[in-house]
Structure 1
Amino acid sequence: MHAFVFRLLLTLLCALCGATASAQSTPAASTLAVALFAQARALENGEGVARDPLTAATLYCEAARQGNADAQYNLAWMYANGRGVARHDGVAAFFFKAAAEQGIAVAQRNLATLGDVAPEMPECMRAPEPEPVPPAPVVVEVMTPVDYSLIAPKKIYDLVHKLSPRFNIEPQLALAIIAAESNFDAAAVSPKNARGLMQLIPETSERFNVGNAFDPTQNIRGGLSYLRWLLSYFEGDVALVAAAYNAGEGTVDRYKGVPPYQETHNYVQRILRTFGAKQHPFEPKVTRPSPLLRR
């Protein structure tokens, strides 16, 4: 938002504090919308202030977003006539329609003059996206590596121990992921179409050249390739690697840590417990580190 507009909104909010305290029956948002409309109209027409139609349009839109019909009509008129803003019949139709629905008859007539124009909502009417919830720390009190030789089918256990060193992955981490993902079922398919032992979605299979995700050898190779990439991307942080394997590296980046999903928290705790360590060696040359690790 333009600095002037921000200061103006702040001034209006402060000025309204007393008014809303003495008029409990009037919602604060409605009162603010009226004040925004009055200031916008003054700026549009240069009444006591320098004429500034762009700022007027910004204030009109804020008042319109709070349901002020007069602001909706005036802004529609500005867009319909290209007064102070670029002409846009779709936006004009949007605001004329909104004003008409609140009982402004002339808005309905003006809407009819635009003809068969589809209303188009401008960006200023869209509610701002909520800030991502900061991730809660993942706390694991006891780490006890699992002896997968007692749990995993011998064929899969041996295959993991054969392939893991080629990708510089500790077999214990790969086995922990397989246990959590498929419980060693090579034919497993998730509701999201993740397949095989390491539950590779089609995009990951394609990314790491896996032709048949149900083939144990191909699946493990693809999963190990992905783990090697994630370990490099998150510089060996097992919690972040596990979170990314479960929810995607993009989600971890967006939340700047383990996402606030119960499923992902449980998954991360399980991997940390059964792998038995918070860090894993990584290869820096595989990829650049995640933005959340860059200093």
Structure 2
Amino acid sequence: MPRKAPFLVLMALGAVLCCAVPGASGAGMYFFEDGSGKFHFTNRPTSTTYRVFAVFKNFPDARKSDIMRVVRTKADAYGLDHHLVQAVIQVESNFQPGAVSNKGAQGLMQIMPATGADLGLTDPHDVEGNIEAGVRYLRMQMDRFGSPTLALAAYNAGPGQVERYGGVPPFRETQDYVRKVLSLYKKLKGGS
């Protein structure tokens, strides 16, 4: 019974959150318990070990057209091509403001909590605040590394890793990320 008690508390919390979170559309929260008894939660499961924890009927959401208005404004303010920012958001969160990765990145541009704190982001699921922080961070990486490829690698793996390896780090996740964002960016730019 003691081992199941924390899980039951979490389930009760999930049930309360299902009814309490403001917003518009549905989304799910998933979990798995590792071998040491630690629970892991995400709204984007990466394997079949995750099980449904809760379904949020009122999870934060915004229309893509509203998000794109903010993207254009913030990209212009920081001198970035809005197509690049759009590609980052598409790959990072698929335009889901409430997205949380299994590593803890949050919101449309998947800002890590420590990075968000450094950037003054107080609500990672706020559309405008998250895009502001993400665009500012991407601009910082562009200024630091001078190319979209290296800026995206730094956005994904961290600037220290780009410096350490003198280019895109040899991490499959980062290499795939850079390739996906640049491919989508090229398509979006060609379609405008």
The alignment's TM-score, normalised by the length of structure 2, stands at 0.63
CA–CA distance in structure 1, aligned partners of residues 175 and 68 of structure 2? 26
**In structure 2, what is the equivalent of residue 261 of structure 1?**
171
**In structure 1, what is the equivalent of residue 21 of structure 2?**
none
Aligned partner of 1:220: which letter? I
Deviation at 1:271, TM superposition (A): 1.5
Aligned partner of 2:160: which letter? G
Residue 101 of structure 2 corresponds to residue 190 of structure 1 = yes
CA–CA distance in structure 1, aligned partners of residues 130 and 180 of structure 2? 21
CA–CA distance in structure 1, aligned partners of residues 126 and 132 of structure 2? 10
Deviations 1:107-140 (A, max 9, x none): xxxxxxxxxxxxxxxxxxxxxxxxxxxxxxxxxx
Q: 1:249 aligns with which of 148, 159, 178?
A: 159
- Whose helix fraction is larger, Structure 1's or Structure 2's? 1
Deviation at 1:273, TM superposition (A): 1.2
Deviations 1:202-241 (A, max 9, x none): 1111111111111000000000110110000001x11111
CA–CA distance in structure 1, aligned partners of residues 82 and 76 of structure 2? 8
Mind listing any 5+ residue stretches in structure 2 that lack a counterpart? 1-62, 188-192
The total of aligned residue pairs comes to: 125
Larger radius of gyration: 1
CA–CA distance in structure 2, aligned partners of residues 182 and 159 of structure 1? 16
Aligned partner of 2:116: which letter? S
CA–CA distance in structure 2, aligned partners of residues 258 and 220 of structure 1? 24
Aligned partner of 2:66: which letter? K
Q: 2:81 aligns with which of 155, 170, 173?
A: 170
**In structure 2, what is the equivalent of residue 51 of structure 1?**
none
Residue 127 of structure 2 corresponds to residue 216 of structure 1 = yes
- Whose strand fraction is larger, Structure 1's or Structure 2's? 2
Aligned partner of 2:82: which letter? P
Alignment of 1:1-295 (within 5 A): 153-235=64-146, 237-276=147-186
CA–CA distance in structure 2, aligned partners of residues 267 and 163 of structure 1? 22
Deviations 1:162-190 (A, max 9, x none): 22111111101110110111010000001
CA–CA distance in structure 2, aligned partners of residues 203 and 194 of structure 1? 10
Mind listing any 5+ residue stretches in structure 1 that lack a counterpart? 1-151, 278-295
Deviations 1:51-84 (A, max 9, x none): xxxxxxxxxxxxxxxxxxxxxxxxxxxxxxxxxx
Matched residue SS, 1:276 = helix
- Structure ranking higher on relative contact order (CA contacts 8 Å, 6+ apart): 2
CA–CA distance in structure 2, aligned partners of residues 260 and 164 of structure 1? 29
